Amino acid sequence: MAFLHFGSELKRFGRGKLPPLGFVVVMLLPLLFGGVFVSAYYDPIGGLSKLPVAVVNVDEGELDAGAQVVENLLEQDNIKFIEVSAEEARAGINDGTYYFGIEIPQDFSDSIASVTSDSPAPATVNAVFNNSNGFIASMLGNQVVNQVVNTMDSEFGVRIVDNMLVGFSTIGEGMNQAADGATVLSDGLGSANEGAVQLADGAVTLSEGIASANTGAQSLADGASQLDTGLASAASGSQTLADGLTGLSAGTDQLGQGATQVSDGVGQLVDQVAPLTALVPDINTQLLTLRDGAATIASELSDPSSTYRSGVDSAVSASQQLATGLSTLKDGSSQLSIGARTLADGTSQLATGSQQLVVGAQALRDGTVQLDEGSNQLALKLSDGAGQVPAFADGADTTITTPVDTQQAGDISPLFGIGLAPFFMVVGLFMGATVTWMLLHPLSRRALDSRMGGFRSTLASYLPAAVLGLGQATIMWVVLYFFLDLAPAHPVGLWLSMVGISWVFISITHMFNNLAGPSAGRVLSIIMMSFQLVASGGLYPPETQPAFFTWFHTYDPITYAVNLLRQMIFNQTPSADPRFMQAIWVLLFVWVLMFTISTLANRTNKVLRMKDYHPELNI
Structural domains of the chain ordered from first start: 15-43+415-606 (no CATH), 50-159 (3.40.1710.10), 172-388 (1.10.287.950)
Cβ proximity of 358 and 203 under 8 Å: yes
Cβ proximity of 42 and 417 under 8 Å: yes
Distance CA 534, CA 557 (A): 12
At 555, give phi and psi (nearest 5°).
-105, 10
Give yes or no for residue 467 having a pLDDT over 70.
yes
Residue 61 CB neighbour total at 10 angstroms: 18
- Lowest average pLDDT, out of 130-134, 416-420, 568-572, goes to 130-134
Coil/strand/helix, residue 101: strand
Q: Which amino acid is at 211?
A: A
At 263, give phi and psi (nearest 5°).
-65, -40
- Lowest average pLDDT, out of 88-97, 183-192, 351-360, 480-489, goes to 183-192
Distance CA 555, CA 586 (A): 9
Cβ proximity of 135 and 88 under 8 Å: no
Give yes or no for residue 350 having a pLDDT over 50.
yes
Coil/strand/helix, residue 120: coil
Distance CA 183, CA 380 (A): 8
Average pLDDT rounded to a whole number, residues 38-66? 75
Average pLDDT rounded to a whole number, residues 15-37? 62
Sheet holding 52-57, edge to edge: 80-83, 52-57, 100-104, 126-129
Residue 424 Cα to chain centre, angstroms: 49
Query: pLDDT grade, residue 65 (50/70/90)?
Result: confident
Query: pLDDT grade, residue 220 (50/70/90)?
Result: confident
Give yes or no for residue 437 having a pLDDT over 80.
yes
Distance CA 231, CA 332 (A): 10
- Lowest average pLDDT, out of 270-284, 445-459, 483-497, goes to 445-459
The predicted model scores a pTM of: 0.51
Distance CA 618, CA 172 (A): 88
Helix, strand, coil shares of the chain, percent, nearest 5, are: 80, 5, 20
Give yes or no for residue 390 having a pLDDT over 50.
yes
Query: pLDDT grade, residue 600 (50/70/90)?
Result: confident
Contacts of 481 (CB under 8 A, 6+ apart): 487, 488, 491, 494
DSSP 64: -
Average pLDDT rounded to a whole number, residues 68-78? 85
Average pLDDT rounded to a whole number, residues 274-292? 70
Q: Quick one: which of 71, 50, 48, 49 has its CA closest to 59?
A: 71
What pLDDT does 617 receive? 41
For 148-162, the pLDDT digits (tens) are 777 777 667 666 655
Distance CA 334, CA 330 (A): 6
